[in-house]
Amino acid sequence: MNSIMNKFSLEGKSAIVTGANTGLGQGISVALAAAGAHVFGVARRSCEETAQKVEALDGKFTEVMADMSKLESIETILTEVKKQTQRIDILVNNAGIIKRCDAIDVPVEDWDSVIDINLRMVYFLSQAVAKDWMADGKGGKIINICSMLSFQGGIRVPAYTASKSAVMGITRALANEWAKHGINVNGIAPGYMATNNTAQLRQDAERSEDILARIPAARWGTPEDVQGAAIFLASAAADYVNGYTVAVDGGWLAR
């Protein structure tokens, strides 16, 4: 392989991917493993399907059970992962939830649960991992999964919009402070992807048709669609990319 393609290799790296049992987290886990990384997939239920997909590619995948709504899980995750690898090189903050409700009726519990998982956990897990990276001086890669609602307001998902807009904000804020330590913090903003996250939306015939009509690529995205961006941002090929959020959206934001 020539040297530029070598830069995309994740051989010998270890990656944590949160929410690895399904959807985009599964697609990203498979991609990072295919590029050579040992993937530690964090989930609150079995990652059996992801493990099988990774094993089919002769990749390495280890499941770590944790509830991403509780900050105490950070210690559990890092302790488990460090038992099996000398160093974490990549963190993908993917786990997230969405609650659909008219803004006027959003209950406090729903607001808090969305912010806790989508924002609070992303921040403090990144902070914990970055502390190790600053201590050993070897740097690392953080990829935060953002959204079209990091850029736009959305409809009937105000807590989700607040969380994802903030995640793109902290992607820039952390990059500004940590780039000098060799830590690349970047984001991927998926467009409208066919996963559990959008199941309700896709069942609503009118909303589904409206969304599809606005996507230049004329189709919903898939977990495979985010794989290339994930490998790039996790790799040495992205060493000089800091604080940027790449849209993988079939052209949605270009409209």
- Shortest Å distance, C-beta 1 to ligand NAP: 31
Q: How far apart are CA 43 and CA 104, in angstroms?
A: 32
* 189, β-bridge pairs: 247
Verify binding: residue 145, ligand NAP, rule CB under 6 A: yes
Angle at 76 between CA 71 and CA 82, to 5 degrees: 130
* Residue tagged active-site, from 123, 160, 192, 240: 160
Q: With respect to ligand NAP, which residue has the nearer C-beta, 111 or 179?
A: 111
**For ligand NAP, which residue of 147, 171, 227, 235 counts as binding (CB under 6 A)?**
147
Q: With respect to ligand NAP, which residue has the nearer C-beta, 67 or 132?
A: 67
Alpha-carbon torsion, ordered 5, 168, 226, 203, to 10 deg: 180
Q: How far apart are CA 5 and CA 116, in angstroms?
A: 38
- Shortest Å distance, C-beta 131 to ligand NAP: 22
Q: Which stretch binds ligand NAP (CB under 6 A): 41-49, 84-92, 103-111, 228-236?
A: 41-49
- Shortest Å distance, C-beta 121 to ligand NAP: 8
* 254, β-bridge pairs: none
Give the position of tokens 């998926």. 190
Q: 240 an active-site residue?
A: no
All residues at 6 or more sequence positions from 236 whose CB lies less than 8 Å from its CB, including other chains: 7, 8
DSSP one-letter code for 221: B
DSSP string, 100-141: ---GGG--HHHHHHHHIIIIIHHHHHHHHHHHHHHHHT--EE
Verify binding: residue 192, ligand NAP, rule CB under 6 A: yes
Q: With respect to ligand NAP, which residue has the nearer C-beta, 235 or 245?
A: 245
- Shortest Å distance, C-beta 60 to ligand NAP: 19
Verify binding: residue 24, ligand NAP, rule CB under 6 A: yes
What are the backbone angles phi and psi of residue 183, rounded to the nearest 5°? -100, 120
Verify binding: residue 229, ligand NAP, rule CB under 6 A: no
Verify binding: residue 67, ligand NAP, rule CB under 6 A: yes
Verify binding: residue 88, ligand NAP, rule CB under 6 A: no
Which residues make up the interface to ligand NAP (CB under 6 A)? Answer: 19, 21-25, 43-45, 67-69, 94-98, 117, 145, 147, 190, 192-193, 195-198
Active-site positions? 160
